[in-house]
Amino acid sequence: MSHQQTPMSSGFGPASTAYDVIAGIDLSGKTAIVTGGYSGIGIDTVKALASAGAKVIVPARDLERAHKNLDGIAHVTVESLDLMDPASIDAFAERFLATGQPLHILINSAGVMMNPLTRDARGYESQFATNHLGHYQLTLRLWPALRQAGGARVVSVSSRGHRLSPVDFNDPQFEHRDYDKRVAYGQSKTANALFAVKLDQLGQPYGIRAFALHPGGIVTELARHLSKQELVATGFVREDGTPVFDPSRDMKSPPQGAATSVWCATSPQLDGMGGVYCENSDIAKAVAADSEAPLGVRPWAIDHDEAEQLWALSEKLTGVSLPA
């Protein structure tokens, strides 16, 4: 059964780090894939999983940068992958499946944020294509390995940015409405959350559980498309350009930002659960659509009907369905 969207008092909080939540957990013999694992919170996600004994594979578009940023971390390998390129996704998955190994943890963490209007070769808006469709295709292509694990978790790194917009099923690619980078980002992050809702339903018979999460406000290279003035206006960056760390106000360091991803991927507290949206290493509170609270999950990000609709749209746009 999926757990209700209700906090469980996990014992962790905003200041907890990835290393706090994984303490005492043994991942020896487990294999994990972490997209975006060579930048931002992804690096600490990879470090935490590897420190617990997991073999971690980091797909990367920039191989040189990935090798540089992950150099010296045991149990970590880098592979080529471009989430904007369907052929690259298929090639990565084929290489992994050819090894015959099960996949115990898949953390879909890579993403782009609030960039100018860009389209992939199919004409799809880049934030929706990268943040959602690329991960949708990757997860489905890796499905045989997830099933083989006999108990796997898929973690979608969403954002509190989901509150900026539900998925606009009438015009997801901004073909008939003016492009708004904030709305496009919000739509893609809502899609990340809805993907976990439907995936968990489909995966339960095979022991595959899915979670979505808000990692916290962390100033990383993800914010490269925002001007200094935009960043300062958020309160997350000082006038001199240095980041503000105050986890009580959701302003986190990268190790704190990686905590909820690692908790969702590994915590025994979540055994038998799934399909929920998490934050601060706990299940998030469901809030009303018009809530002005900075945290909490809005109804359109956990709606089962919208999750079903998104799944059908994703199948149509990618031509990829779950293997029989």
Structure tokens of 123?
């004409």
Predicted local distance difference test score (pLDDT) of residue 124 = 98
Average pLDDT value for residue range 107-136: 96
- Rounded Cα distance, 100 and 321, in Å: 21
Within-domain flag for 1: no
Tokens of 260: 């909820």
Percent of the chain with pLDDT over 70: 94
Total of domains in the chain: 1
Q: Does residue 86 fall inside a structural domain?
A: yes
Give the tens place of pLDDT for each residue, 221-231: 545 556 667 66
Which residues are annotated as catalytic?
Answer: 185
Cα 194 to Cα 156: distance, rounded to the nearest angstrom? 10
The DSSP call for residue 244 is: P
Residue 207 lies in a domain: yes
- Range name among 88-102, 157-171, 242-256, 259-273 with the lowest pLDDT average: 242-256
| Tens-digit pLDDT profile for residues 217-266 | 886 554 555 666 766 666 667 777 777 788 888 889 999 999 999 999 99
| Mean pLDDT of the region 261-289 | 98
Query: At 227, which amino acid appears?
Result: S
Question: What average pLDDT does range 18-39 have in this prediction?
Answer: 98
Among 116, 109, 222, 251, which Cα is nearest to 174's? 116
Q: Which residue has the higher pLDDT, 84 or 237?
A: 84
- Would residue 294 count as lying in a domain? yes
Over residues 79-108, the mean pLDDT reads 98
Does residue 1 have a pLDDT over 50? Answer: no
Asked if pLDDT for residue 8 goes beyond 70, the answer is: yes
Specify the pLDDT at position 221.
55
CA distance 19 to 48: 6
Domain membership flag for residue 181: yes
Q: Please report the pLDDT score of residue 190 as a whole number.
A: 98
What's the rounded Cα separation, in Å, for the pair 118 and 82?
15
**What confidence score (pLDDT) does residue 164 get?**
96
Question: Rounded mean pLDDT of 95-101?
Answer: 98
Query: Across residues 30-55, what is the average pLDDT?
Result: 97
The pLDDT of residue 225: 55
Domain residues for the domain of 291 are 18-216+253-317
Residue 258, domain member (yes or no): yes
Q: What is residue 297's three-state secondary structure?
A: strand
Produce one character per residue of 125-149: b if its CB has 16 or more CB atoms within 10 Å, e if not: bbbbbbbbbbbbbbbbbbbebbbeb
- What CATH number has the domain bearing residue 265? 3.40.50.720
CA 76 – CA 294 distance, rounded (Å): 35
Q: Which of 156-170, 181-195, 238-252, 287-301 has the lowest mean pLDDT?
A: 238-252
Lowest mean pLDDT among 94-98, 139-143, 248-252: 248-252
Distance, CA of 78 to CA of 57 (rounded, Å): 6
Mean pLDDT for the stretch of residues 278-287 = 98
- Residue 260: the pLDDT is 98
The mean pLDDT value for 109-131 works out to 96
In-domain check, residue 246: no
Percent of the chain scored above 90 by pLDDT? 87
Give the pTM: 0.94
Residue 230 domain-assigned (yes or no): no
Q: Quick one: average pLDDT of 85-96? A: 98
Instruction: Render 141-209 in DSSP notation, one character per residue.
Output: HTHHHHHHTTSEEEEEE--GGGGG----TT-TT-SSS---HHHHHHHHHHHHHHHHHHHHHHHGGGTEE
